[in-house]
């Protein structure tokens, strides 16, 4: 009965064969990423790489929300920082092993995300962003005043401890492999979430929320679950970072951290699989290697941000993907 008009163009529907849910291009990029993770510590300073991975994970968690659900949270530092504090506290005061400390930090960040998300998703757009910011500022002042956070000093001299109770993480290389493993696990988890039927509903909400609700989905529930997942993974990133540096401070709950993760995600490419990681790499590398230029780093960041918004809106990875005609 049908079939007119579409005969020639219909057959090659596009390169869609996938390996574990990754397209071919993404799979190649994934292999490159694995190779880089293995090779990099032999050439670059491991602590710098660990910092980079923690921020990359934070940006990936943030991207889950902004890139796939279209929710712009402006208070993600609260989950990142709180994850850091709780992990540091568990490791130092309670003497728990690193993996358990991180899990507790992540769990609490998730609970916090559940409460804040529940309040914030009632509003859209700029109001959503403002509510998340306001709630995050409350957490900032809580961390400034609460006795367990150590106020301006933060929690210092946090031991890295022994993984599973017997592998010492004190040597940088041991810690590096641990951080890399945490990063890869969470990265794959995010990928799994985005490519599940649940993830498809999230993308549908991002594109057309009224349509999604009139198909029969309670979109608020989906947004809330995504928010909690994002906050939890941000908590993992924050917790891991506090163990790497042995300190949890106010910097990580400050609103400028929320801005920084937004910047990383935008520079790398919103809604791309590898963008947040590249964005985090660019920003962290700049802060590290241009540190002697002092305040100029912020100026350069600003220039990059403007260039990004004006000239390549898809972000670095988004633009490369566009040039190569693949999704990365």
Q: Which residues bind other proteins (CB under 8 A)?
A: 1-6, 10-11, 13-14, 16, 197, 200-201, 203-204, 206-208, 210-211, 213-219
Minimum CB distance to other proteins, residue 69 (Å): 12
CA dist 267 and 174 (Å) reads: 31
CA dist 281 and 131 (Å) reads: 29
Minimum CB distance to other proteins, residue 39 (Å): 33
Task: Return the half-sphere exposure (C-beta side, CA atoms, 13 A cut-off) of residue 252.
Answer: 31
Q: Of 228, 287, 277, which is closest to residue 256 (Cα–Cα)?
A: 287
CA dist 140 and 225 (Å) reads: 24
Minimum CB distance to other proteins, residue 58 (Å): 24
Closer residue to other proteins, CB minimum distance, 147 or 197: 197
Closer residue to other proteins, CB minimum distance, 193 or 231: 193
Minimum CB distance to other proteins, residue 72 (Å): 18
Closer residue to other proteins, CB minimum distance, 217 or 255: 217
Would you state the structure tokens that stand for residue 189, as one six-digit string? 């988890």
Across 104-234, where does the E strand assignment appear? Answer: 162-163, 167-168
First vs last C-alpha separation in the chain? 38
Query: Assign residue 281 a region: left if phi > 0, alpha if psi is -120 to 50, beta otherwise?
Result: alpha
Closer residue to other proteins, CB minimum distance, 94 or 118: 118
Closer residue to other proteins, CB minimum distance, 10 or 157: 10
Phi/psi for 20 (5° steps) reads: 50, 40
Minimum CB distance to other proteins, residue 206 (Å): 8
């Amino acid at each position: 009965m049908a079939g007119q008009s579409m005969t020639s163009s219909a057959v090659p529907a596009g390169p869609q064969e996938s390996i574990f849910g990754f397209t071919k291009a993404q799979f190649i990029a994934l292999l490159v990423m694995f190779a880089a993770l293995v090779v990099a510590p032999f050439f670059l300073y491991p602590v710098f790489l660990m910092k980079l991975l923690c921020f990359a994970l934070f940006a990936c968690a943030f991207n889950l929300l902004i890139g796939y659900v279209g929710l712009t949270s402006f208070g993600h530092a609260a989950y990142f920082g709180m994850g850091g504090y709780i992990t540091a506290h568990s490791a130092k005061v309670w003497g728990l092993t690193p993996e358990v400390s991180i899990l507790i930090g992540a769990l609490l960040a998730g609970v916090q995300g559940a409460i804040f998300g529940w309040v914030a998703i009632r509003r859209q757009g700029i109001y959503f962003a403002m509510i998340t910011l306001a709630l995050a500022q409350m957490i900032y002042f809580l961390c400034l005043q609460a006795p367990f956070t150590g106020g301006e000093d933060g929690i210092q001299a946090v031991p890295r401890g022994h993984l599973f109770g017997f592998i010492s993480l004190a040597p940088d290389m041991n810690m590096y492999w641990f951080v890399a493993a945490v990063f890869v696990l969470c990265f794959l988890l995010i990928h799994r979430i985005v490519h599940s039927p649940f993830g498809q509903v999230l993308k549908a909400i991002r594109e057309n929320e009224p349509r999604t609700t009139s198909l029969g989905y309670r979109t608020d529930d989906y947004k809330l679950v995504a928010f909690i997942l994002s906050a939890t993974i941000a908590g993992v990133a924050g917790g891991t970072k506090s163990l790497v540096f042995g300190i949890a401070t106010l910097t990580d709950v400050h609103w400028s951290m929320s801005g920084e993760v937004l910047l990383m995600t935008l520079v790398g490419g919103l809604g791309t699989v590898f963008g947040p990681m590249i964005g985090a790499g660019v920003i962290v590398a700049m802060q590290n290697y241009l540190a002697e230029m002092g305040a100029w780093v912020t100026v350069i960041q600003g220039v990059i941000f403007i260039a990004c918004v004006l000239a390549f809106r898809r972000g670095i990875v988004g633009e490369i993907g566009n040039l190569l005609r693949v999704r990365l």
